[in-house]
Structure 1
């Protein structure tokens, strides 16, 4: 949610009408979308009772298909308000307002592209060749036309969910009136939303076919048509009628939503008691964030998140840099806007430039249409650039220009667009070292390193290993439909002493494999884990057995030396970083390094 303390935070995005079926978890019977924006969605449903589905303040998982592109969107949100009718009858409908907070993969970008490209859609049925030319000339610069020649084609078009008006044309009066009557009967008897009266949310019907005046008056009075136009339709009158019908549908939808929300607030007076999203989510209680090392990282994140400062996340692959970027976005004043993610290591320079900055039609082979680019899609929100060390100097120069001026120019274009985007960058390597080696531009580095956060590898925060393992077991029990009961003692020992070169990502994959190999209602055992993980446990046991015939002091000295050597190896020989990982004073560690005769860099 947008933070009131951030005056620069962008306003909520505009709602657009959308009438498509939505699958939810927890399940809501007869759930359909009413409208949608970048930050939330309006839903209506016909549950069997007020106890079905989520309550206010509870999470809701949703999946729906966007019209035209047929792109599938999966998103998690929180129910901001819910209204249940006092008496459940045929016209009773439950309404919900849901705020988005986490999209699956790039689904947030899919939605933003749909909203940016959104236009009014108008269906035309039974139009003859002479009428088609006039309709296109009058309407195509204002709306997108979709054509049908049968009642079945009309059903298909209306099921898209974004048709705002239907023009019934042709010269066959009986066929045109029969279609109007058929659509009215379907709305009255089989409206899937249950959101009566049915005409509230259905496309407006403009009757442009011949008919007796008395019949037209009857159809209008019964609410079966929105307006009748005498053929041949005059272009200006036709255009005004179509635009008015589309606007009226959007206005009625928004009025209904606002009325339900107001009724809910006034009738139940629950505004103060309703659960609310915390301004500062308790991310410290999430798996993988409870060790001292990660608590220190979160403290730094909480300092940086509310301010418009570039954040550079550094750490090994698989340490959770994208997860932390989402935490930063969630704690910022931009949390109500888009978070766009791009891995800079997966695309060539040309494709990455097009993806980030967009391109115009004809800029290169295959550019068949304008493409807005991720910086435009992230306008008002945050963009996360992972593996930024893989970008070329030429692309780094263009990124620097966006950082300094906010100006984005698409590939092949001359027009510059100003965007307001916060950048979070991530690198698997030390960017300062990359600058010294001449592989990364120093000017871009100094723009990105306003606030550096180093993520410790999993082997340096063993307190998180078992916590994450139990979390992944629960996750894969749900997704794989298994019922594994936890971790056996031997599996816990293996996980604790594993080196985890792949960090949290490797742990996740190991647990997924183990859950698949385990029997239901039994715990994960060591035999279900990859054999390579056992090397760490065997190494720990060998260290304990080293010099078993020597004194306790000598054995402890040997173990201390091995621990310090491993810490130095993991941190490139830098005593300061090794000391932070071991939670020691750097001066003390430097003294012990010299005593043990180990090689190190600056203290």
Structure 2
């Protein structure tokens, strides 16, 4: 408990430190440039440029959150420069600083350059800081909501309200109490542990088969934590090659690699102050694991093609359907990264180990499907639920959701009946040994072949409405041969004798 409390106190201190944002200041007067740098550098990383050409070179090599540009410069005006920035680097929030207030300049700045704010000379340090803080916050909100708020003429207050409403709705939707389970379910203990972990800034590794609800638990951990007011972002680490995955997570500069057509803000930066969920972490390459380990150790990222590192404060929740300890022993996953990620391990039990949850989950899914499809199916018949509880559900909750969607489409009215179930579920699923053999490391070839053969027969029966002659013809078997296999695998339900 003392260790947990220590972790929590460190987390509270860290959350008070916002990631250092980068502000580009452009002014051709050296003294003015130095004054701006001195005021802003206490809170921001400041890059100074004495003219538009130098500013462009900075934008080519660095990721910038906000630009503060003088209007009257010798080579081109601030509005002209920011108009070019808007078309080439649209993400940074653009501001003009000027001692002049011609209405045509203001109108041009808003319409052509997408100016967020005019700062009048002589400026006051406190007001200047407030303006730049607002610009940086607007930048982060834009990245989280994936909108161009300035170009849509949305005020920072409006964007903040939209994000706050979105987070409030998500907090209610992904509360721990909304994870459906029975009182005697093995999932209950997992949820109790996850509640404890949510209170402290500790890395969590969620293991379990595909479709068991690992992301749902990760979201509940985030929205049950002190980071709930910040972003929750998701990345599937198994879906992208290394370079694209690095670009997604850490960011990149335009032209950093083939296909990098624009600057990209990494998800670690979007999640600053919040939580990042790294799904399928076990699919990553050893080369990427080294880079991720450095980010977790140093709490800093370097966008591809950029020169400067950026500090981030992010909680990591990772998930995998692999046995990472076995992967570590086999040398396919770094031991030091595993211990960094698995400070607090949680395991989601498969649906076959919690049949008591199936009626509750099925009722919830049915209600959602009714609403989505505009149906009014009253419920699920008792014998149908019993058949569902006998099935192994190798695809877990995701497979159950698909099955109920299919049943609702086929159902006429009233309750879902056993005849609406697909044959593989109605039949009670595959025998335990062959079914498990497909996924087990020590499965024999005989078990694998039997499981595959049985699955092909069941699928063919379903396609042909149980007609033995048609199924035998499709599988290249005689009717007698097919009957022998039906008896061998104890497949009886749904079989139609067409002799």
Give yes or no for TM over 0.5. Answer: yes
2:221 to 319, 325, 328: 328
Q: 1:256: how far off?
A: 9.8
Match of 2:12 in 1: 7
Question: Residue in 2 aligned with 1:402?
Answer: 295
CA distance in 1, matches of 2:157, 2:323: 54
Alignment of 1:372 onto 2:270: no
Matches of 1:406 and 1:449, distance apart in 2: 17
Cα distance in structure 2, aligned partners of 1:322 and 1:361: 31
User: Which has the greater radius of gyration?
Assistant: 1
Which whole-Å CA distance do the structure 2 matches of 1:348 and 1:373 have between them?
Answer: 16
For residue 523 of structure 1, what is the aligned residue in structure 2?
415
Q: Which residue of 1 aligns with 2:472?
A: none
Query: Are 1:535 and 2:475 an aligned pair?
Result: no
Q: TM-score with structure 2 length normalisation?
A: 0.57
Asked whether 1:432 is paired with 2:437, we answer no
1:507 to 393, 400, 408: 400
* Alpha-carbon distance, 1:535 to partner: 2.8
Q: CA deviation at 1:369?
A: 2.3
Once structures 1 and 2 are overlaid, which stretch shifts more, 281-290 or 339-348? 281-290
- Identify if the C-alpha distance between structure 1 residues 353 and 278 changes in structure 2 by more than 3 Å, giving closer, same or farther: closer
Measure how far apart 1:412 and its partner are: 2.5
Q: Deviations over 1:367-388 (max 9, x none)?
A: 2322121111111111111111
Match of 2:242 in 1: 349
RMSD over aligned CA atoms reads 4.8
Residue 469 of structure 1 pairs with residue 362 of structure 2: yes
CA–CA distance in structure 2, aligned partners of residues 532 and 280 of structure 1? 33
Matches within 5 A, 1:232-381: 240=120, 283-284=176-177, 286-288=179-181, 290-381=183-274
The 5 Å alignment of 1:3-402 reads 7-8=12-13, 10=15, 137-141=77-81, 207-208=103-104, 240=120, 283-284=176-177, 286-288=179-181, 290-402=183-295
How far the C-alpha of 1:163 sits from its partner, in A, is 12
- Decide whether aligned partners of structure 1 residues 286 and 391 sit closer, same or farther in structure 2, where only a CA change above 3 A counts: closer
CA shift, 1:476, in A, is 1.1
Hey, what's the Cα distance between the residues in 1 that align with 2:157 and 2:187? 46
Counterpart check, 1:444 vs 2:449: no
**Does the CA-based 8 Å contact 2:253-2:262 persist in structure 1?**
yes
Structure showing the higher helix proportion among its residues:
2
In structure 2, the CA distance between the partners of 1:480 and 1:9, relative to structure 1 (3 Å rule), is farther
Distance of aligned partners of 1:312 and 1:255 in 2 relative to their CA distance in 1, 3 Å threshold:
closer
* Cα distance in 2, alignment partners of residues 433 and 304 from structure 1: 24
Q: Distance in 2 between matches of 1:256 and 1:403?
A: 33
Say which SS state the counterpart of residue 7 (structure 1) adopts.
Answer: helix
1:479 deviates by: 1.3
TM-score of the two chains, using structure 1 as the length reference: 0.48
Unaligned 5+ segments in structure 1 are 15-115, 121-132, 148-161, 166-204, 210-225, 228-237, 258-274, 540-561, 574-603
Q: Tell me if structure 2 keeps the 8 A contact 1:297–1:453.
A: yes
Structure 1 residue 512: deviation in Å? 1.2
Task: Give 1:281 shift.
Answer: 8.4
**Does the 8 Å contact 1:494/1:537 carry over to 2?**
no
Number of aligned residues: 341
Structure 1's 572 and 363: CA in aligned 2 closer, same or farther, altered over 3 A?
Answer: closer
Partners in 1 of 2:219 and 2:188 — Cα distance? 16
**Shift of residue 138, structure 1, vs aligned partner:** 3.4
Structure 1 residue 389: deviation in Å? Answer: 0.7
Moved more, 484-493 or 389-398: 484-493
Q: CA–CA distance in 1 between the matches of 2:341 and 2:156?
A: 45
Q: Report the 3-state secondary structure (helix = DSSP H, G, I; strand = E; otherwise coil) of the residue aligned with 1:8.
A: helix
SS in 2 for 1:536: coil
CA displacement at 1:346 relative to structure 2: 0.8
Please tell me whether the aligned partners of residues 280 and 331 of structure 1 are also in contact (alpha carbons under 8 angstroms).
no
Asked whether the equivalents of residues 18 and 272 of structure 2 are also in contact (C-alpha less than 8 Å), the reply is: no
- Aligned-pair distance for 1:11? 6.0
Q: What CA distance in whole angstroms lies between the structure 2 residues aligned with 1:392 and 1:281?
A: 31
Q: Secondary structure at the match of 1:335?
A: coil
The residue aligned with 2:139 is: none
Q: 1:324 to 1:337 in 2, by over 3 A?
A: same
| SS in structure 2 of the partner of residue 292 of structure 1 | coil
Deviation at 1:139, TM superposition (A): 2.0
